[in-house]
Structure 1
Amino acid sequence: MSHQVALSFEDGVTRFIKVNPMETVADASYKARINIPLDCRDGACGTCKAFCESGSYDGGDYIEDALTDEEAEQGYCLPCQMMPESDLVLQIATTSDVAKTAASTYTATITALHRFSESTVGFTVEIPNRDDLVFLPGQYVNMTVPGTDQTRSYSFSTGPTQHELSFLVKITEGGLMSEYLRDRAQVGDELELAGPFGSFFLRERKRPALLLAGGTGLAPLLSILHKMQNDGSDLPAHLIYGVTFDHDLVELDKLAAYAESLPNFTFDHVVSDPASTAPNKGYVTGLIEPQHLNDGDVDVYLCGPPPMVEAVRTHLDEQGITPVNFYFEKFNNSATGPAGEAPAPTEAELAAAEKAAAETGRPVALGAATPQPGDLYEIGEEHPPVADSDAQFDARMALELGALELTIGRLTEQQLIEYRILAEASTASIDKDRFTDAAAFTDTNAAFHEFLFRCCGNPVLLEAYNRLEVTQLMHQVLRTAEWVDERVPHDHLAIVEAFERNDRAAARELIVDHAEHAKETMRRAIAQRKVVTA
């Protein structure tokens, strides 16, 4: 009989292949157009060496130079020789990009074009398998420019539950996609999409929100507004939309409609051109009022060019305000690639972050990385420092709730089995409310929490999670800890059970509760360390 093999790549992407009887994993991979490392195919070089996380197999024939007996005992294997005897999970020592496997792709058909002005084009597409494309409000896809092998990245301006998918594009002179949309695009044209990508998305709402958009950075915020409306939230939300010239203003009618239909939503727009006829002239920061910041108890979502992001940061510093959460996505319209337009960022380049130590008194920065030449987006987060580590765990919870939406009801039977194995492994180092091995728990706990991000097929989201450095913090704080909230290991198993039942509501509640149990464990450990060192 055939077996399913999960190939887990270093960038967090997991791909599944079917391996037939008497077929090696490497042969099956290449049949599926997944080019894992391979050279000799005879078990002589070790190029394809991988690690088997679970399952049984016949290791085949190979020489000592390719794989030692000690390595084989540890679980290392050679895909060019191994034949599965059960379903397997393999760690592949390369990224999915190198292996030429990628996120899901879709063929879309343009159903509407709206050339708003000389500076902006909007367009709408449909895909036949719409239910297969699950995204979070604020995320983006990569599009292949028709007639080329070049891709460009655009955020959805429609919500996750809307059938049609819409986008806003700023026209850049000499840009491949810009010129296609401006000069040649027609209803009925086909576009290739890949994604979704990105870690800029609406988190669970607990407080007022301030949404700041620069130019076509309005697109992901429109998607976020649709989600807010669907959720029935009545928490205050205010949007400030800034552009350079009057003709850059788009979708004001949609914003007005949301102001009518979404409780406690208001918006302003501002134009920087002194000759503008708009009621507000200047910049976004000039319209940020104290009530919008709510004394810092606010979630700020900002999408715009880098100078706008820095201007908002400066404004907040001058006001002495540190928002509870500051999520941003920078895009650089002036960045030019070989074709004169910003190329799509690579998955590895997109999201990066830094965490400032809590004792510095500066914000905990969870993004963004220095962009590589030609990058279009930088994505990141900032949260206020707290000595008891709550910020990291709240940020992890917010990301996990996003990963939940992307994976619930979509995990395969094999993935659910792996998820349960990881949950059970995390309980082995706990006896009721005591750690038997805190370091081992921290490692198995990290594998459990990373799992959903690996299943998303979104390396940017995985990178955002890794940059929180929760595992490093736990290793530091729990090194000598003894007490653990006894609900923690039970939470892991209960979350898996909710996924097995496809119970979204239960899974969300459990993830939120688990964050509180984890924070209590960390607080107790920090307090104990202070007593010991006093």
Structure 2
Amino acid sequence: GPVLATEKPLLTKEELESNTRLSCQCKVKQNIRIEIPEELFNVKEYAVIVDKMEKLTSTIKKLTFNLGEEEINFKPGQYVQLKAPAYDGNDEEVYRAYSIASSVNDKHIIELLIGYTGGIATTYVHQHLKEGDTAHINGPYGEFYYHEDDGPIIFAGAGTGMAPIVSILQYMADNNIMREAVFFFGAKTRDNLFLLDKIKAFEEKLNLKFIPTLSREESPEWKGERGRVPNAIDKYIDTGENYSAYLCGSPAMIDSIVEALVKRNVPVDKIYFDKF
């Protein structure tokens, strides 16, 4: 049947044009066929132990969860959901999505990068969760993941958007994938840069160039790029016809980077992104 008025605000222009409906708004009047994406059969609930919590910046922590005898199979770039239970000052149980930062080969370990925003889940992580605690995650999920190809790659991210890109780079390193790659990482100041040793190791192992660009760094000691990621893309990418791109960051940041990539003729169907 036709799309209802209650559905229209929740559907994109493309979804409306393709007659996509919200299942919760449809009345089934005859037999229907339901197709479930194969990857959803991998989704499970896990009780995990917090092995380690490491402070990377003033607002970002790296969490290492141990799945014990359980295994998780995911594609590099995908995410899991972490449950934040009720705690002192919050009586609501919520799930929040966080990209996986660890290797697909570490089937008993999950690493997440979680920045403090003052929300229910990040407050739970930064102020209540401790090493040795039991936590609950489910997954994996997501259509943002590494695609096998031969062309060069542009990675771009900011903050905890580092997580899925690190997982993809680890996959490339583990499989000796030597595609030419450049990683633009946006931050405010040098204090907001992290995992630099890990990225340096990827540069030495892979055909990768890391280009951090700082928007608010005032020190003259900083000799790297200044400004925002789209400015750096304009500077370093002349023509992007052969590139694919993987982007992770805020919606506003992603939109501005996509615009910069399209200006450099990066194919739209090879621009993969995860907005958070």
TM over 0.5: yes
State the distance in 2 between where 1:119 and 1:247 align: 10
State the superposition RMSD in angstroms.
Answer: 2.8
Larger Rg: 1
Amino acid at match of 1:271: L
Correspondence for 1:207 among 151, 167, 174: 151
- List alignment gaps of at least 5 residues for structure 2: 1-26, 87-91
Partner of 2:127 in structure 1? 183
Partner of 2:3 in structure 1? none
Which deviations, in whole Å up to 9, do the C-alpha atoms of 1:57-103 show, x marking residues without a partner? xxxxxxxxxxxxxxxxxxx9xxxxxxxxxxxxxx679x9xxxxx993
Correspondence for 2:212 among 269, 287, 291: 269
1:237 counterpart = 2:184: no
Partner of 2:79 in structure 1? 140
State the distance in 1 between where 2:62 and 2:124 align: 13
Partner of 1:284 in structure 2? 229
For the Cα contact (< 8 Å) 1:298–1:323, is it kept in 2?
Answer: no
- Pair 1:217–1:160, CA change in 2 (3 A): same
- Pair 1:291–1:241, CA change in 2 (3 A): closer
Which deviations, in whole Å up to 9, do the C-alpha atoms of 1:154-203 show, x marking residues without a partner? 00001111242111111102x12222222222111111111111000000
Which deviations, in whole Å up to 9, do the C-alpha atoms of 1:19-55 show, x marking residues without a partner? xxxxxxxxxxxxxxxxxxxxxxxxxxxx99995xxxx
State the distance in 1 between where 2:174 and 2:249 align: 25
Instruction: Give 1:110 shift.
Output: 0.5
State the distance in 1 between where 2:176 and 2:136 align: 33
State the distance in 1 between where 2:28 and 2:261 align: 51
Bigger helix fraction: 1
For the Cα contact (< 8 Å) 2:42–2:140, is it kept in 1?
Answer: no
State the distance in 2 between where 1:291 and 1:270 align: 12
Which deviations, in whole Å up to 9, do the C-alpha atoms of 1:482-515 show, x marking residues without a partner? xxxxxxxxxxxxxxxxxxxxxxxxxxxxxxxxxx
Bigger strand fraction: 2
State the distance in 2 between where 1:159 and 1:204 align: 17
Amino acid at match of 2:136: E
Correspondence for 2:64 among 103, 107, 124: 124
Partner of 1:413 in structure 2? none
State the distance in 2 between where 1:240 and 1:297 align: 18
- Pair 1:281–1:102, CA change in 2 (3 A): same
Identity of aligned residues (%): 26
Superposed structure 1 runs of 4+ greater than 6 Å apart: 47-50
State the distance in 1 between where 2:69 and 2:161 align: 27
Correspondence for 1:115 among 55, 62, 68: 55
Between 113-122 and 274-283, the greater mean CA deviation after superposition: 274-283
Aligned 1:418-437 pairs, distance under 5 A: none
Instruction: Give 1:238 shift.
Output: 1.0
SS at match of 1:288: helix
Amino acid at match of 2:200: A
TM-score (norm: length of structure 1) = 0.41
For the Cα contact (< 8 Å) 1:136–1:201, is it kept in 2?
Answer: yes
Partner of 1:328 in structure 2? 273
1:104 counterpart = 2:48: no
State the distance in 2 between where 1:207 and 1:319 align: 15
State the distance in 2 between where 1:290 and 1:204 align: 27
Amino acid at match of 1:273: R
Which structure would you say has the larger RCO, counting Cα contacts within 8 Å and 6 or more residues apart?
A: 2
- Pair 1:130–1:113, CA change in 2 (3 A): same
SS at match of 1:303: strand
Instruction: Give 1:300 shift.
Output: 0.6
Instruction: Give 1:211 shift.
Output: 0.4
Aligned 1:359-508 pairs, distance under 5 A: none
State the distance in 2 between where 1:152 and 1:295 align: 34
TM-score (norm: length of structure 2) = 0.77
1:170 counterpart = 2:110: no
Amino acid at match of 1:258: F
